[in-house]
Amino acid sequence: TCSLLHSPKGFPKLKNDTFLRAARGEETEHTPVWCMRQAGRYLPEFRETRATQDFFATCRSPKVCCELTLQPLRRFPLDAAIIFSDILVVPQALGMEVVMVPGKGPTFTEPLKEVEDLLKLRQKVDVTAELGYVFQAITLTRHSLEGKVPLIGFSGAPWTLMSYMIEGGGSSTMAKAKSWLYRHPEASHRLLRLLADVIIDYLVGQVAAGAQALQLFESHAGHLGPDMFQNFALPYIRDIAQAVKSKLKEEALPLVPMIIFAKDAHYALRDLAHAGYEVVGLDWTIRPQEARAQIGKDVTLQGNLDPCALYAPKEKIGELVKKMLEEFGTQRYIANLGHGLYPDMNPEHVGAFVEAVHAHSRHINKH
């Protein structure tokens, strides 16, 4: 169904809006569920589609992104789709080169080393010119979903992207990137501001293209302590929510729910609850009741089963899901994992997770 590039108008009518209702805090018959990295290497059909192509070439092909986004929905009764892309397309839009190295992951050929390197970045980014391929993928996928479920768009958050741009790839300490925060605070803010401005336009463009919700990934929040987060991450997270909403209004685009997922940022849950997002995503290291106590009743929670729980036998997955639902409550809640699926996971166990969420939440709601 991914053959035509349609326009971002006349989208099919949405048949299952459970995810959007939960995000907005409306009542739902069952708890909606989706998985981070649900379009991924754990699916044999994903590996087959991706086999011949370079990773970022895949990201730049709207047709392939559409196919990969739809694959998990053919298998599982998920309540949302998330567009197949990568957070590092934003540094690419700023002019940095990123390649996917087998066995190592994403690698920047020339990471930022000195403050002067900031001058090499594009200071003004035309997101349609640089990231139009993501918008096309969203529009195509939104049509191809035929209204089955809503489509989520996303971006990395400024600190997470900055840390990749300086480290040049993954890192267990983020020491190079953090040293910038301590040694070059002004330059760090300049870079974070530049990233935030691109992210704002990028997210607004995703909604214009057809995204029905947006998630901001602050995946490296756990490398910062409370003070550094307060200074270098939170202001930009807040600003992105505010600016995206005001631009959506200005451009008469739908005000879609926004999700903030700051991994390992327990210390910031209260702040994140007031950062302007309808949904706060949680990793698996926090107790649902504690998160609810800190975040309050006006924000929807999303999460937070340990991804490794999917290695357990299926019956055990069902028990863990039931416990999770009892702790979160079935309303103002979107079930998910506490991070993404891993490549060696059994698709049947993902199916067991999704079905357990639906079955147990329906049962709890009835009784």
**Active-site residues: which are they?**
37, 41, 50, 86, 164
Residue type, 216: L
Residue entry with tokens 């307060």 = 230
φ/ψ (deg, to 5) at 306: -55, 120
CA distance 239 to 216: 12
Alpha helical stretches, state H, 61-184: 62-75, 89-93, 127-144, 158-167, 175-183
Find out whether 90 and 155 touch, Cβ atoms under 8 Å: yes
CA distance 181 to 183: 6
Structure tokens at 149: 């479920």
CA distance 244 to 248: 6
Structure tokens at 340: 């993404």
Nearest to 34 by CA among 362, 354, 367, 363: 354
Nearest to 279 by CA among 254, 263, 258: 258
205: three-class secondary structure by DSSP = helix
Nearest to 355 by CA among 40, 76, 42, 38: 76
Element (H, E) at 63: helix 62-75
CA distance 277 to 310: 28
154 - beta bridge partners?
215
Element (H, E) at 304: strand 300-305
Burial of residue 79, with CB atoms counted within 10 A of its CB: 0-12 exposed, 13-18 middle, 19 or more buried = buried
